[in-house]
């Protein structure tokens, strides 16, 4: 793969063809916030918190750095007044869903986001999809998925699959930036615990 030279925050950065801006930045020790990204999973581009500014043929555009690929001589800025404003707005919208999420609170401090700006819709899930994608892509189990759409969208464990696969796994738990995943699992566990034969070895 051919080597690519680009500039991120004024620093010359070496990357390889096919890398995303996020990967190139992290490789150069430049931090960009993420909420739905996981290095073992396919790029998703859901939360948009990783937005950055790129200069392409003299035009400035805002792109999602976890999916946008590097290009020769690309000029990237990871912070600007506009980027910070966009991230602040995204955080305020997400905080309406999960006001107590530690990761969101930490980012809110950095970007001056007000957790009370929008009316609370405490579903606790910010739809990052990390749990769903990890279970599907890495574990190949599809034990957890999304149900419903729009504002009613939420995650749900498939009881028959969860009863067999999740007891000894739970690898998705630490990925969740809120408490939604654990709460959904506890609910599923409660629903399935009345079927003792469903737990392996029981
Ligand atoms: S439950 Fe957690 S990990 Fe799963 S989609 Fe919602 S916020 Fe993301
Ligand atoms: S981390 Fe890039 S869109 Fe979520």
Task: Write out 134-200 in H/E/C secondary structure.
Answer: HHHHHCCCCCEEEECCHHHCEEEECHHHHHHHCCCCCCCHHHCCCCHHHHHHHHHHHHHCCCHHHCC
How much is the pLDDT for 84? 98
Rounded CA-CA distance 148/199 in Å is 28
**Closest CA to ligand 1's atom 1:** 181
Confidence of residue 195 (pLDDT cuts 50, 70, 90): low
Ligand 1 centroid distance, CA of 41 (Å): 14
Confidence of residue 28 (pLDDT cuts 50, 70, 90): very high
Ligand 2 pocket (Cβ < 6 Å) reads 34-37, 45-50, 64, 66
Ligand 1 pocket (Cβ < 6 Å) reads 125-131, 155, 175-178, 180-181
Cβ atoms 45, 66 nearer than 8 A: yes
How much is the pLDDT for 200? 43
pLDDT in tens, 175-184: 999 878 877 8
How much is the pLDDT for 4? 96
| pLDDT above 70: percentage of residues in the chain | 94
Give me the mean pLDDT over the 98-117 stretch.
94
How much is the pLDDT for 201? 40
Q: Which atom of ligand 2 is nearest to the CA of 33?
A: 1
How much is the pLDDT for 198? 45
Q: Which atom of ligand 1 is nearest to the CA of 126?
A: 7
**Both tokens of residue 128?**
């990052």
Ligand 2 pocket mutation pick from 49, 69, 87 by most atoms within 8 angstroms of CB:
49
Ligand 1 centroid distance, CA of 84 (Å): 24
Ligand 1 centroid distance, CA of 5 (Å): 35
Average pLDDT of the chain to the nearest whole number: 90
Ligand 1 centroid distance, CA of 71 (Å): 32
Q: Which atom of ligand 2 is nearest to the CA of 51?
A: 2
How much is the pLDDT for 193? 66
Q: Where are the beta strands (DSSP E) in 58-127?
A: 59-64, 75-77
* Residue in 145, 144, 128 with CA at minimum distance from that of residue 41: 128
pLDDT in tens, 118-175: 998 877 899 999 999 999 999 999 999 998 887 778 888 998 898 889 888 999 999 9
pLDDT in tens, 41-65: 999 999 999 999 999 888 999 999 9
């Amino acid at each position: 793969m051919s080597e690519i030279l680009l500039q991120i925050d004024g620093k010359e950065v070496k990357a390889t063809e096919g890398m995303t801006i996020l990967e190139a930045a992290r490789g150069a020790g430049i931090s960009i916030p993420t909420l739905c990204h996981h290095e073992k999973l396919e790029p998703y581009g859901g939360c948009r918190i990783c937005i950055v500014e790129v200069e392409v043929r003299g035009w400035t555009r805002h792109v999602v750095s976890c999916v946008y690929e590097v290009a020769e001589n690309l000029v990237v800025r990871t912070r600007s007044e506009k980027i910070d404003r966009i991230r602040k707005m995204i955080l305020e919208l997400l905080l309406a869903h999960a006001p107590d999420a530690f990761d969101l609170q930490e980012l809110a401090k950095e970007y001056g986001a007000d957790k009370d700006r929008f009316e609370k819709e405490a579903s606790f899930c910010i739809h990052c999809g990390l749990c769903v994608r990890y279970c599907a892509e890495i574990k190949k189990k599809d034990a957890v998925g999304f149900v419903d759409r729009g504002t009613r969208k939420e995650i749900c464990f498939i009881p028959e699959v969860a009863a067999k696969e999740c007891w000894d796994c739970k690898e998705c738990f630490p990925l969740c930036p809120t408490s939604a995943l654990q709460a959904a699992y506890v609910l599923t566990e409660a629903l399935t615990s009345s079927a003792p034969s469903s737990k392996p070895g029981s």
